[in-house]
């Protein structure tokens, strides 16, 4: 078999139905249903804006950005582009858009806009005000790389709500992304917006955020999102960045579940945040491995492996491994940050292993309230360790801490065996026993 058919856009073909939202793309669907697009290579590159060929641009993404500590933030102003742009407007429910085994790359979009890049699903409201949403989006076995700014994302004009009032929030349903690779994105890797019970699983995120601020994976303004069995690594920080972590439960979200993920060697750490005047309610973070995260200092906030920010409430963080390596220095293992003078409240930490081989590791809870720690195991010297009512002491006897997922099995005689507390509703298997 030969290569997949290739569609190479010129970066100049207008495809947005809303002319106030001008975008250039290679493939576009508008108010379409029951499509399967598969086995294609898609690019949308404007060499005039880049000042170089597509091959040169993708090589520069490696040499100038991905392989550099604190790479420069890209300051150019490009047009707004996508590889694939799926649109809906004032028609109600749109069903079954499946994207399978696609390679989408070479999109030199506007780095200042989150809504440009590889694949984008968008719901508009241009005046008729018929709440519109997608039902059954599937992105499976795709390779999205070298795109600005985002890898895969979506947006909706029907997304307005507060913690208590749903103004016109009309979520997408059955939004699933799986078995895909997201590599060298200018900003975010995958963002899930305005969705109910979305799933992102079995994906690899590698070198996201190389040109500007961005986390590898997060939901925003969504309920019941499940992020599982993913690997997020090498997310890059640029000078002055706000985001450069592996996985984030962002604000205006409820009941996010983050489980069975392997996050490692990301410049910033994992994040749970509720924005000022907004909310993040009921996030569960369980059975994950966070290894050597927090490599770079966020300006004014130090280094951190786990960060709680703003008004997040009722977050449960249990049965995770947090590992800091011997080359890490002055890193907060758990760090609470304000957002416009709001802090996290009611954060619960159970059955975690905090394994600290770094120098100067610490915990910093600032003005966050009602933090509860119980049945956690602590290794290494860290200042300001939390009060833990059932602290696990003794030799943890891990197989090879710092050596990847297989390094955190408990050997016979480990002090942690049988010392956890049962968390109601949690799965029976931990990371090492699951898929």
Interatomic CA distance for residues 201 and 178, integer angstroms: 5
SS3 154: strand
Cis upstream peptide for 278 (omega within 30°): no
Strand 103-108, strand 82-89: pairing:
unpaired
> Own/partner pairs for 49-55, CB < 8 Å, 24+ apart?
49/11, 49/76, 49/78, 49/79, 49/108, 50/78, 50/108, 54/106
Indicate whether 267 belongs to any domain.
yes
- Find the mean pLDDT for residues 146-160: 97
Q: What is the reported pLDDT for 2?
A: 66
Does residue 383 sit in helix, strand or coil? Answer: strand
Alpha-carbon gap, residue 400 to 410, rounded angstroms: 10
240: helix, coil or strand?
Answer: coil
- CB-hemisphere CA count at 13 Å for 172? 33
Q: Are the CB atoms for 62 and 184 separated by under 8 Å?
A: yes
Q: Among positive and negative, which fits the CA dihedral 125, 78, 236, 39?
A: positive
Instruction: With a cut of 90, say whether residue 21 has pLDDT above it.
Output: no
What's the CA gap between 65 and 224, in Å, rounded? 34
Q: Taking the alpha carbons of 253, 247, 312, 186 in that order, is the dihedral positive or negative?
A: negative
**Does residue 433 lie within any of the structural domains?**
no
pLDDT in tens, 87-117: 999 999 999 999 999 999 999 999 998 999 9
Give yes or no for residue 434 having a pLDDT over 70.
Answer: no
Helix (H, G, I), strand (E, B) or coil at 363: strand
Decide if 359 is inside a domain: yes
- Quick check: helix, strand or coil at residue 60? helix
Cα–Cα dist 317/241, whole Å: 25
pLDDT digits (tens, 9 = 90+) for 53-98: 999 999 999 999 999 999 999 999 899 999 999 999 999 999 999 9
Residue-wise pLDDT tens digits, 388-407: 989 998 999 999 999 999 99
* 435 confidence band (pLDDT: 50, 70, 90): low
The answer to the question of residue 317 being in a domain is yes
CATH number, domain of 247, equals 2.160.20
Q: Helix and strand tally (H, E) in the chain? A: 2, 37
pTM: 0.97
CB atoms within 10 A of CB 276: 12
* pLDDT (mean) for 296-312: 94
Averaged pLDDT for residues 411-427: 93
Residue 423 lies in a domain: no
Q: pLDDT confidence of 382, banded at 50, 70, 90?
A: confident
Q: How confident is the model at residue 381 (pLDDT cuts 50, 70, 90)?
A: confident
In a domain, 326, yes or no: yes
Please give the DSSP secondary-structure letter assigned to residue 81: B
Tell me which residue has tokens 């990847």: 404
Q: Summarize the confidence of residues 120-140 as an average pLDDT.
A: 95
**Structural domain includes residue 413:** no
Residue with tokens 């856009």: 9
Alpha-carbon torsion (157, 162, 164, 165), positive or negative: negative
Residues 6 or more apart whose Cβ sits within 8 Å of residue 120: 23, 82, 84, 85, 86, 150, 152, 153, 154, 155
Query: Residue 20: which domain range?
Result: 6-408
- pLDDT for residue 222: 98
Give pLDDT, residue 1: 46
For strands 289-291 and 270-274, give the pairing: unpaired
Q: What is the largest CA-CA distance in the chain?
A: 67
Q: Is residue 377 part of a domain?
A: yes
- State the sign of the Cα–Cα–Cα–Cα dihedral 167, 173, 179, 181: negative
Q: How far is the C-alpha of 420 from the C-alpha of 414, rounded, in Å?
A: 12
Counting residues of the chain whose pLDDT is more than 70, the rounded percentage is: 99
In contact, 319 and 357? CB cutoff 8 Å:
no
pLDDT digits (tens, 9 = 90+) for 310-326: 999 999 999 999 999 99
Q: What is the pLDDT of residues 202-220, one digit of tens each?
A: 999 999 999 999 999 999 9
Q: How many domains does the chain have?
A: 1
pLDDT of residue 16: 86
Q: How many CB atoms lie within 10 A of CB 326?
A: 12
Residue 386 has pLDDT above 70, yes or no: yes
Residue in 43, 17, 42 with CA at minimum distance from that of residue 30 = 17
43 vs 26: CA distance, rounded Å: 7
Q: Per-residue pLDDT tens for 228-252?
A: 999 999 999 999 999 999 999 999 9
Tokens matching residue 373: 């720690």
User: Is the Cβ–Cβ distance between 250 and 222 less than 8 Å?
Assistant: no
Mean pLDDT of 164-169: 94
């Amino acid at each position: 078999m030969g290569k997949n058919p290739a569609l190479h856009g010129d970066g100049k073909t207008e495809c947005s139905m809303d002319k106030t939202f001008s975008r250039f793309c290679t493939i576009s669907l508008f108010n379409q249903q029951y499509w399967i697009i598969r086995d294609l290579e898609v690019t949308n590159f404007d060499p005039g804006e880049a000042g170089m060929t597509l091959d040169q641009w993708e090589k520069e993404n490696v040499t100038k950005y991905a392989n550099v500590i604190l790479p420069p933030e890209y300051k150019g102003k490009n047009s707004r582009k996508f590889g694939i742009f799926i649109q809906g407007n004032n028609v109600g429910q749109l069903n079954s858009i499946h994207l399978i085994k696609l390679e989408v790359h070479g999109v030199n979009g506007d780095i200042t806009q989150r809504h440009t890049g590889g694949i984008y699903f968008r719901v508009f409201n241009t005046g008729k005000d018929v709440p519109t949403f997608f039902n059954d989006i599937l992105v499976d076995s795709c390779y999205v790389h070298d795109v600005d700014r985002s890898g895969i994302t979506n947006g909706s004009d029907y997304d307005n709500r507060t913690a208590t009032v749903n103004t016109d929030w009309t979520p997408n349903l059955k939004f699933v992304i799986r078995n895909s690779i997201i590599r060298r994105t200018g900003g975010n890797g995958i963002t899930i917006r305005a969705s109910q019970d979305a799933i992102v699983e079995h994906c690899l995120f590698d070198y996201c955020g190389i040109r500007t601020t961005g986390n590898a994976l997060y939901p925003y303004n969504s309920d019941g999102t499940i992020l599982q069995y993913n690997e997020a690594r090498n997310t890059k920080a640029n000078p002055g960045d706000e985001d450069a972590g592996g996985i984030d439960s962002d604000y205006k979200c409820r009941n996010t579940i983050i489980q069975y993920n392997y996050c490692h060697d990301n410049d910033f750490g994992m994040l749970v945040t509720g924005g000022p005047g907004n909310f993040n309610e009921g996030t569960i973070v369980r059975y994950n491995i966070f290894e050597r995260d927090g490599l770079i200092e966020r300006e004014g906030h130090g280094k951190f492996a786990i960060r709680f920010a703003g008004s997040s409430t009722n977050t449960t963080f249990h049965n995770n491994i947090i590992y800091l390596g011997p080359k890490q220095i002055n890193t907060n293992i758990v760090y609470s940050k304000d957002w416009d003078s709001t802090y996290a409240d009611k954060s619960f930490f159970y059955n975690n292993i905090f394994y600290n081989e770094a120098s100067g590791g610490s915990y910093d809870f600032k003005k966050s309230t009602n933090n509860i720690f119980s049945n956690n195991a602590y290794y290494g010297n860290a200042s300001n360790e939390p009060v833990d009512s059932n602290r696990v002491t003794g030799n943890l006897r891990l197989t090879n801490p710092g050596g990847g997922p297989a390094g955190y099995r408990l050997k016979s005689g480990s002090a942690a065996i049988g010392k956890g507390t049962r968390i109601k509703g949690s799965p029976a298997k931990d990371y090492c026993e699951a898929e």
